């Protein structure tokens, strides 16, 4: 396989859902590409469009949703696929892990049987061969006494172990792209770090392309090569992990970094909070959607959605005041 080939190529993605007052644009012009062995984190708050973007790669939206733009995975056009082709895509090419493994498994079947069923749906293997594959994966995701655990029902496992089992299920058809939707958010801190390290290791060993959705900057830093910050359905800043964290150029990214409790100068001092609340997607302000909350906003910000401004190698921010924002951030953090 060509190592530089794009595993994921998304251009101008838009997703509209039906709302009570007309269509709601949940994703508004997202461009995203991923190569083999690369991890991109989609970072954002609720309603920012990060999960909707992720689900578009597997077309998991209800049929009433309107998807526009181009979505290619492993060179195949996902938006033009029929249901049979989609079934062939989901599993062997792209698979997904979710926040709640309790919902991903059927509670009345043994976990091993569910994994065997998934393999045999896509590959011509005997039950014994499929179980062997499942066992290998249980060992790989480091579930203790894997052979016994295959015969467990989902409720017999702890949260962390269920999450490992779901990762095994997602990888059993040897996909090229793994989509992760907040897979560690519901886990305890000491378990979260174990699962993050496991995902990082599997990603390296198997050469997976990973899209990782999270609201936690620390989690993004642990797993991502690149970070895409989303706000109101758009990617407002994207770049190499190091550059986005050290030299953020969009005022929203800066606000997220500065308002963290760990950034407080002394305990008890007030945090540099971003004022206001995330916008209502059915009633977005014209121009830059962050303008009403932004300390650097000027009249021009209301004119049009800001184009991507290059601020470094492979690093852009959708802001017309990136220079001003950079100076302000330096003066605060210096």
Residues forming the site for another protein (CB under 8 A):
45-46, 144, 158-161, 188-194, 196-197, 215-219, 221-222, 241-242, 245-246, 255-256, 259-262, 264, 267-268, 270-275, 277-278, 293
Per DSSP, the residues of 100-128 read -HHHHS-TTS-HHHHHHHHHHHHS---HH
| CB distance 167 to 198 below 8 Å | yes
| CB distance 53 to 30 below 8 Å | yes
Measured from the CB atom, is 9 or 182 closer to another protein? 182
**In whole angstroms, how close is the CB of 325 to another protein at the nearest point?**
16
**In whole angstroms, how close is the CB of 27 to another protein at the nearest point?**
18
303, 300, 298, 299: which is closest to 287 by C-alpha? 303
**In whole angstroms, how close is the CB of 81 to another protein at the nearest point?**
34
Quick one: angle between helices 189-206 and 159-171, nearest 10?
10
Measured from the CB atom, is 152 or 194 closer to another protein? 194
Measured from the CB atom, is 15 or 43 closer to another protein? 43
Measured from the CB atom, is 238 or 274 closer to another protein? 274
**In whole angstroms, how close is the CB of 48 to another protein at the nearest point?**
9
C-alpha distance from residue 101 to each of 37, 107, 168, 223, 316 (Å):
25, 11, 11, 20, 35
Measured from the CB atom, is 97 or 256 closer to another protein? 256
**With 0-12 CB in 10 A as exposed, 13-18 as middle and 19+ as buried, what is 307?**
exposed
Cross-strand partners of 231: 234
**In whole angstroms, how close is the CB of 61 to another protein at the nearest point?**
23
**In whole angstroms, how close is the CB of 256 to another protein at the nearest point?**
6
Give the three-class secondary structure for 144.
coil
**In whole angstroms, how close is the CB of 190 to another protein at the nearest point?**
4
Per DSSP, the residues of 45-97 read -TTSSHHHHHHHTTT-S-TT-EEEEEEEETTEEGGG--HHHHHHHBTTTEEEE
Side-chain half-sphere exposure of 113, counting CA atoms within 13 A: 9
Measured from the CB atom, is 98 or 252 closer to another protein? 252
Measured from the CB atom, is 49 or 160 closer to another protein? 160
């Amino acid at each position: 396989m060509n190592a530089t080939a794009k595993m994921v190529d998304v251009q101008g993605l838009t997703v509209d859902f039906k709302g009570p007052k007309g269509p709601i644009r949940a994703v508004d012009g997202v461009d995203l590409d991923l190569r083999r062995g690369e991890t991109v984190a989609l970072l954002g708050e609720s309603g920012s469009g990060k999960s909707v973007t992720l689900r578009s790669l597997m077309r998991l939206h209800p049929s009433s949703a309107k998807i526009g733009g181009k979505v290619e995975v492993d060179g195949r056009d996902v938006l033009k696929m029929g249901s049979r082709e989609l079934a062939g895509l989901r599993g062997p090419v792209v698979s997904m892990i979710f926040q709640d493994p309790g919902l991903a498994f059927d509670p009345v079947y043994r976990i091993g049987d569910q994994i065997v069923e998934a393999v045999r749906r896509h590959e011509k293997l005997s039950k014994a061969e499929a179980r062997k594959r499942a066992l290998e994966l249980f060992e790989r995701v480091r579930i203790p006494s894997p052979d016994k655990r295959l015969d467990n029902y989902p409720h017999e496992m702890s949260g962390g172990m269920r999450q490992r089992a779901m990762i095994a299920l997602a990888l059993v058809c040897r996909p090229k792209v793994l989509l992760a939707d907040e897979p560690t958010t519901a886990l305890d801190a000491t378990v979260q770090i174990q699962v993050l390290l496991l995902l990082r290791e599997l990603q390296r060993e198997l050469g997976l392309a990973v899209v990782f959705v999270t609201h936690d900057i620390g989690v993004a830093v642990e797993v991502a090569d690149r970070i895409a910050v989303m706000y109101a359905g758009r990617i407002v800043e994207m770049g190499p992990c190091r550059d986005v964290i050290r030299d953020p150029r969009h005022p929203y990214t800066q606000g997220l970094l500065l308002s963290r409790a760990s950034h407080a100068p002394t305990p008890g001092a007030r945090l540099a909070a971003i004022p206001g609340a995330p916008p209502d997607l059915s009633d977005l302000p014209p121009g830059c959607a962050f303008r009403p909350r932004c300390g650097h906003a000027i009249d021009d910000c209301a004119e049009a959605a800001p184009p991507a401004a290059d601020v470094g190698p492979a690093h852009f921010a959708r802001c017309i005041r990136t220079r001003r924002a950079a100076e302000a951030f330096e003066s605060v953090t210096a």
